[in-house]
């Protein structure tokens, strides 16, 4: 295999940033070494998480910390604004593996107040290639435009769209063939929608949990 030439980082800021990553890892290695439970040796052999987390790529919403879980307990997929797009092969692959191989029992779609992706989708500004992704959120706005347009405060408007977006992404998730087939096969599987308050750390249940396809409507629910 060809050897990759090590680039000498002359930029001081880049060098410090990279050194911090290595230093952080050394501290983590020290923690792993001192752990007496044997869980890391166990994790090295395989994983058996009960939760699939579909969250925003935002750096402020880490799945493990928000759910009080440890490495090995949450299977994670994150993208801009926690979207479930039916043709997204990355999401579908994660979902298929989580449901059919790992047999997760709880799936959480987690949005968060102050989501930049949601805020951007409410504006008419062009941001570049991301605009095509944000169009999926604009679709949610279009579905609920009467309610969203009736809110005057820009922050409250964006917050409400965050909540409605979570509802719609939960629905999108439940309509996938993967989730519906799991239910059809009698697999115990709950899909939840939650919104994170970054300031308080609260994970707010949106009350849109699905455990079967009965309320998906006749067009979406497979027989």
Choose the binding region for Zn ion from 43-51, 109-117, 165-173, 181-189 (rule: CB under 5 A).
109-117
Question: Which residues, other chains included, contact 151 with Cβ-Cβ below 8 Å and sequence gap of 6+?
Answer: 157, 160
Q: Which stretch binds Zn ion (CB under 5 A): 43-51, 115-123, 128-136, 202-210?
A: 115-123
Residue 125: how many CB atoms within 10 A of its CB?
A: 7
Instruction: Give the active site residue among 39, 60, 86, 142.
Output: 60
**Beta-sheet strand order (sheet of 202-205):** 74-79, 51-56, 106-112, 190-197, 202-205
Among 51, 54, 56, 98, binds Zn ion (CB under 5 A): 56
Contacts to Zn ion from residues 117-176, by CB under 5 A: 117
Looking at 58, 77, 159, 192, which residue is catalytic? 58
What b/e sequence results for 155-189 when a residue is b if at least 16 CB atoms lie within 10 Å of its CB, and e otherwise?
A: eebbbbbbbbbbbbbbbbbbbbeebbebbeeeeeb
Of the candidates 172, 175, 137, the residue with the CA atom closest to the CA atom of residue 158: 137
Catalytic residue among 77, 115, 192, 208: 115
Q: Is 112 known to be catalytic? A: yes
Residue 153: active-site member? no
Chain centroid to CA 59: 12
Q: What is the CA radius of gyration of the chain?
A: 20
Concerning whether 60 is annotated as a catalytic residue, the answer is yes
In the bound complex, what is the minimum distance in angstroms from residue 222's beta carbon to Zn ion? 31
Q: Residue 187 CB, nearest distance to Zn ion (Å)?
A: 30
In 3D space, the residue among 168, 191, 190, 183 whose CA is nearest the CA of residue 223 turns out to be 183
The smaller minimum CB distance to Zn ion, of residues 99 and 108, is found at: 108
Q: Is 58 in the site for Zn ion (CB under 5 A)?
A: yes
Size of the site for Zn ion (CB under 5 A): 4
Indicate the residue among 102 and 130 with the shorter CB distance to Zn ion: 130
Of the residues 99, 110, 115, 119, which one makes contact with Zn ion according to CB under 5 A: 115
The site for Zn ion (CB under 5 A) is made up of: 56, 58, 115, 117
Q: Which residues are marked as active site? A: 56, 58, 60, 112, 115
């Amino acid at each position: 295999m060809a050897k990759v030439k090590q680039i000498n980082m002359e930029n001081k800021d880049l060098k410090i940033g990279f050194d911090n990553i290595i230093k952080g890892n050394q501290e983590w290695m020290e923690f792993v070494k001192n752990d007496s439970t044997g869980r890391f040796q166990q994790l090295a052999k395989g994983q058996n998480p009960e939760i699939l987390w579909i969250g925003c790529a935002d750096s402020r919403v880490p799945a493990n910390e928000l759910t009080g879980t440890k490495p090995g307990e949450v299977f994670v997929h994150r993208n801009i604004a926690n979207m479930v797009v039916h043709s997204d092969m990355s999401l579908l692959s994660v979902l298929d593996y989580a449901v059919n191989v790992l047999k997760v029992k709880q799936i959480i779609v987690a949005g968060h107040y102050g989501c930049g992706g949601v805020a951007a989708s409410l504006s008419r500004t062009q941001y570049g290639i991301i605009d095509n992704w944000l169009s999926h959120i604009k679709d949610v706005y279009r579905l609920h435009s009467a309610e969203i347009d009736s809110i005057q405060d820009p922050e409250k408007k964006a917050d409400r769209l965050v909540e409605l977006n979570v509802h719609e992404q939960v629905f999108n998730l439940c309509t996938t063939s993967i989730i519906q087939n799991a239910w059809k096969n009698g697999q115990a599987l709950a899909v939840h929608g939650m919104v994170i308050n970054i300031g308080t750390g609260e994970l707010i249940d949106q009350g849109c949990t699905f455990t079967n396809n009965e309320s998906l409507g006749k067009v979406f629910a497979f027989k």
